[in-house]
Chain A
Amino acid sequence: MNQAKHHKAAAFCRLTPKQVNSPSLAGVFVAALKREWQLQVRRKGDLINPLVFFALVVVLFPLGVSPTAEILAPVAPGVLWVAALLAVLMSLDALFRPDLQDGSLEQLLVCGYPVAPLSLAKVLVHWVLSCLPLVLLAPLLGIMLYLPWQAQGVLMLSLLLGSLALSLVGAIGAALTTGLGKSGVLMTLVVLPFYMPVLIFGTGAMQAAVNGQPVLAHLALLAALALAALALSPWAIAAALRIAVSGE
Chain B
Amino acid sequence: MIKTPAKSTAALLTAHKLACERDERRLFNDLSFNLYAGELLQLEGPNGAGKTSLMRLLAGLLPFSEGEILWQGQNIDACREYFYQSILFIGHLAGIKAELSPLENLTWFAALEGIHDETLLEQALWQVGLAGYEDHPCHQLSAGQKRRAALARLTFTQRLVWLLDEPFTALDKNAVAAIENLLIAHSQAGGAVILTSHHALEALPNLKKLSLGEEL
Contact = CB atoms under 8 A, between A and B. Distances in A.
B81 A112 contact: yes
Given A39-B100, A109-B61, A112-B81, A11 B178 contact: yes
Contacts of B131: 1, 5-6, 9
A246 interface: yes
A14 B97 contact: no
Contact of B104 (A28, A35, A113): A35
A53 to B, nearest CB: 22
Contacts of A20: 113-115, 158
Contact of A38 (B87, B100, B115, B186): B100
B107 interface: yes
B44 to A, nearest CB: 23
Nearest to A7: B129
Given A14-B186, A18-B120, A245 B108 contact: no
Interface stretch (B5-13, B26-34, B88-96): B88-96
B78 interface: no
A31 B111 contact: yes
A17 B100 contact: no
A183 interface: no
A16 B113 CA distance: 13
Interface stretch (A55-63, A98-106, A190-198): A98-106
Contacts of A101: 93
B55 to A, nearest CB: 11
B141 interface: no
A52 to B, nearest CB: 21
B112 A113 contact: yes
Contacts of B207: none
A15 B91 CA distance: 22
A109 B60 contact: yes
Given A15-B155, A246-B62, A103 B93 contact: yes
Interface in B113-148: 113-117, 120, 123-124, 126-132, 137, 148
A27 B61 contact: no
A112 B82 CA distance: 7
A23 B61 contact: no
A107 B155 contact: no
A102 B96 contact: yes
Chain A interface helix/strand/loop/mixed? loop
B98 A106 contact: no
B171 to A, nearest CB: 10
B93 A12 contact: no
A19 B114 CA distance: 8
B84 A110 contact: yes
B140 to A, nearest CB: 13
A10 B175 contact: yes
B129 A17 contact: no
Interface in A26-56: 27-28, 31-32, 35, 38-39, 42-43
A10 B113 contact: no
A10 B91 contact: no
Given A10-B178, A23-B113, A31-B112, A112 B84 contact: yes
Interface of B: 1, 56, 59-63, 81, 84-87, 89, 91-100, 104, 107-109, 111-117, 120, 123-124, 126-132, 137, 148, 151, 154-156, 158, 174-175, 178-179, 181-182, 185-186, 189
Given A19-B115, A27-B114, A106-B61, 10 more contacts: A1-B131, A5-B131, A12-B182, A14-B189, A18-B117, A21-B114, A43-B99, A103-B91, A104-B97, A111-B112
Interface of A: 1, 5-7, 9-23, 27-28, 31-32, 35, 38-39, 42-43, 101-104, 106-107, 109-114, 245-246
21 contacts: A1-B131, A10-B174, A11-B127, A12-B151, A12-B175, A12-B179, A14-B185, A15-B155, A20-B114, A21-B114, A21-B116, A23-B111, A32-B108, A35-B108, A39-B97, A43-B99, A102-B95, A109-B60, A110-B60, A113-B112, A246-B62
What 9 pairs across the A-B complex have the smallest Cβ distances? A103-B93, A10-B129, A112-B85, A31-B111, A107-B95, A112-B84, A12-B178, A23-B114, A103-B95
